[in-house]
């Protein structure tokens, strides 16, 4: 591997590694998502600064020009990272769906709690999911409209 | 008096038809409490439904049909309803037919879900583009093979569920275009279903959630779900599981 391209690769991965570390330090990147980034930076930095390992690897997978192997490894990490994020997004959207449903159901319940009960002086100690109670509140709302 | 049956209407921007559907239900399906799940509508679907006398659960943003119907299942479970019906907000379904669905719930033998099929009637005339009809029949053929009993209309959203089905789907229900996958889920959980012939109308107004552009996505998504569903880990969160959200189980 040429000196210049090696220097460039080391600089680029070094900057990436420092950026990731800095983001974690500032709490802009959660450790759980930083781990994969750190792993890929360390592996890429290792391959860039140790030409012996890189040329061994490129020979193994049949690549004539070792820097290309570096690209392939980097590309593999990018794919893994993207998949990781797709899974994370799926989990988040599942969680926000549950939140939205609970919020809507609670709002519906609170709206009924806010309405005054029909019978004045009647002790209103029942929880609103009791069947009789529900119907009574329903009519209370319709008549107050 | 209070009913032990709930009719759930998922509605997204259906102000043109929602009042008619709610009134038809109250008139022709006595015995059903009516719940409209307003799926983040930007028009006055929610307030129109309230004025028509329905209970309304308003989702803070559009979740899609799956999330909206699941909110209905959770409501039915938490309010201890015995049966829950699902009815489209666009006026496609005839509320009077709910009686037929209810009658088929334990005749000739008890099942957990009864599904109204538009293809079982002799004089069926379903005005839909040929592409959509082809899609439905492809799903029907695949699903019938997987489930091992004939299913003619797996995309129908006119359904009646018992307590077991309500509890299953309140815990987990497919995200978008859920009807076909729901049949598969029932099968995986050893719950049983039956179809009965119903008549269906053309839409009363508004725009279908499945536009022509989306139907390709619909086909691919449901086919993927069907094929993956065969080999998939159980999609449902069971009591005692690690996480309350199914995607987290797989993480």
In this model, does residue A124 exceed pLDDT 50? no
Q: How close does chain A come to B194, measured CA to CA in Å?
A: 29
pLDDT(A141) > 70: no
* Averaged confidence pLDDT in chain A: 81
CA distance B115 to B101: 7
Three-state DSSP class for A145?
coil
Read off the pLDDT band of B101 (50, 70, 90): very high
Instruction: Give residue B121's pLDDT.
Output: 74
Pick from A23-37, A112-126, B55-69, B161-175: least confident: A112-126
CA distances from B112 to A32, A131, B138, B169, B188 (A): 42, 23, 24, 12, 13
- pLDDT exceeds 80 at position A144: no
Higher local confidence (pLDDT), B18 or A30: B18
Helix or strand holding residue B58 (H, E)? strand B55-58
Mutation choice for B interface testing from A89, A101, A103 by most B CBs within 10 A: A101
pLDDT at A88: 93
Q: A142, B53: Cβ pair inside 8 Å?
A: yes
**Distance from B166 to chain A by nearest Cα, in Å?**
16
Amino acid A16: pLDDT: 93
Q: Examine the pLDDT at B250 and tell me if it is beyond 60.
A: no
Residue B147 pLDDT > 80: yes
Q: Are A131 and B175 inside 8 Å of each other by CB? A: no
How many Å lie between the alpha carbon of A129 and the closest alpha carbon of chain B?
Answer: 6
User: What is residue A15's three-state secondary structure?
Assistant: helix
Q: Above 50 in pLDDT, residue A55?
A: yes
The confidence score (pLDDT) of residue A125 equals 43
Residues of B in contact with A93 (CB under 8 A): 247
**pLDDT confidence of residue B234:** 54
Region B183-191: what's the mean pLDDT? 88
For residue B208, the model assigns a pLDDT of: 60
Asked if the Cβ–Cβ distance from A138 to B55 is below 8 Å, we say yes
Q: What is the pLDDT of residues B20-65, one digit of tens each?
A: 999 999 999 989 999 999 999 999 999 999 999 999 999 999 999 9
- Higher-pLDDT residue of A138, B184: B184
Of B79, B245, B251, the CB nearest to A134: B79
Report the distance separating Cα A39 and Cα A54, nearest Å: 17
* Residue B148 burial class via C-beta count within 10 angstroms: exposed 0-12, middle 13-18, buried 19 and up: exposed
Residues of B in contact with A135 (CB under 8 A): 1-2
Q: B90 to each of A24, A57, B17, how far by Cα in Å?
A: 51, 62, 6
Query: Are B74 and A105 a contacting pair at CB < 8 A?
Result: yes
Contacts of A91 in chain B (CB under 8 A): 245, 247-248, 251
How confident is the model over B88-96, as a mean pLDDT?
A: 92
Residues of A with CB under 8 A from a CB of B: 87, 90-91, 93-95, 97-98, 100-101, 103-105, 107-108, 129, 131-132, 134-135, 138, 142, 145
- Token pair for A7: 């220097």
Contact list, B245 vs chain A (CB under 8 Å): 91, 94-95, 98
pLDDT band at B189 (very low <50, low <70, confident <90, very high): confident
Share of chain B above pLDDT 90, in %: 53
Rounded Cα distance, A145 and B39, in Å: 23
Are B251 and A104 inside 8 Å of each other by CB?
A: no
Give, rounded to a whole angstrom, the gap between the first and last alpha carbons of chain A: 80
Q: Give B-chain residues touching A101 at CB under 8 angstroms.
A: 59, 63, 67, 70-71, 74
Convert the pLDDT of each residue in A68-120 to its tens digit: 888 899 999 999 999 999 999 999 999 999 999 999 999 999 988 887 665 44
| Distance between CA atoms of residues B157 and B87, nearest Å | 7
Task: Specify the pairing of strand B5-11 against strand B83-86.
Answer: parallel
- Which of A77-81, B145-149, B215-219 shows the lowest mean pLDDT across its residues? B215-219
Q: Please compute the mean of the pLDDT values over residues B78-94 and round it to a whole number.
A: 94
**Cβ <8 Å between A135 and B1:** yes
For residue A15, pLDDT over 90 is answered with yes
Which pLDDT score is estimated for A123? 43
Strand, helix or coil for residue B230? helix
Whole-angstrom CA distances from B230 to B150, B180, B246 are 18, 13, 17
Between A69 and B74, the higher pLDDT residue: B74
Contacts of B237 in chain A (CB under 8 A): none
For residue B162, the model assigns a pLDDT of 95
Residue B82 has pLDDT above 80, yes or no: yes
ipTM for the assembly:
0.81
Which of the pair, B243 or A119, is modelled with greater confidence?
A: B243
Pick left, alpha or beta for residue B104 (phi over 0 → left; psi -120 to 50 → alpha; otherwise beta): alpha
Tell me what pLDDT residue B212 has: 65
Nearest CA in chain A to B32: A135
């Amino acid at each position: 591997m040429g000196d210049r391209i090696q220097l460039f690769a080391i600089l680029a991965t070094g900057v990436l590694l420092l950026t990731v570390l800095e983001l974690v330090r500032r709490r802009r990147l959660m450790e759980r998502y930083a781990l994969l980034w750190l792993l890929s930076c360390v592996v890429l930095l290792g391959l860039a600064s140790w030409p012996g390992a890189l040329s061994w690897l490129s020979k193994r997978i049949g690549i004539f020009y070792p820097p290309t192997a570096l690209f392939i490894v980097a590309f593999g990490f990018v794919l893994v990272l993207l998949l990781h994020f797709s899974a994370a997004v799926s989990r988040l959207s599942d969680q926000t769906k549950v939140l939205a449903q609970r919020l809507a159901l609670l709002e519906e319940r609170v709206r009924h709690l806010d309405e005054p009960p029909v019978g004045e002086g009647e002790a209103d100690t029942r929880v609103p999911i009791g069947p009789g109670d529900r119907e009574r509140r329903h009519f209370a709302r319709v008549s107050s409209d | 008096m209070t009913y032990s049956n709930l009719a759930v209407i998922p509605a997204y921007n259906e102000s043109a038809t929602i009042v008619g559907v709610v009134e038809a239900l109250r008139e022709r399906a006595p015995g059903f409490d009516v719940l409209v799940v307003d799926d983040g509508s930007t028009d006055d679907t929610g307030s129109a439904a309230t004025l028509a006398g329905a209970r309304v659960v308003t989702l803070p943003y559009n979740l899609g049909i799956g999330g909206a119907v699941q909110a209905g299942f959770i409501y039915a479970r938490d309010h201890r309803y015995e049966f829950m019906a699902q009815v489209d907000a666009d006026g496609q379904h005839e509320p009077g037919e709910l009686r037929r669905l209810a009658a088929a719930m334990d005749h000739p033998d008890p099942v957990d879900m009864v599904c109204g099929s538009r293809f079982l009637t002799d004089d069926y005339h379903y005005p839909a583009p040929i592409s959509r009809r082809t899609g439905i029949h492809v799903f029907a053929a695949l699903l019938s093979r997987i489930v091992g009993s004939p299913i003619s209309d797996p995309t129908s959203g006119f359904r009646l569920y018992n307590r077991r089905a309500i509890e299953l789907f309140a815990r987990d229900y497919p995200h978008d275009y859920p009807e076909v996958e729901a049949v598969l889920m029932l099968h995986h959980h050893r719950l049983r279903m039956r179809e009965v012939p119903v008549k269906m109308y053309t839409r009363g107004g508004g725009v279908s959630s499945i536009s022509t552009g989306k139907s390709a996505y619909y086909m691919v998504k449901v086919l993927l779900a069907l094929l993956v569903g065969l080999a998939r880990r159980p999609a449902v969160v069971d009591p005692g599981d690690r996480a309350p959200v199914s995607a987290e189980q797989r993480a």
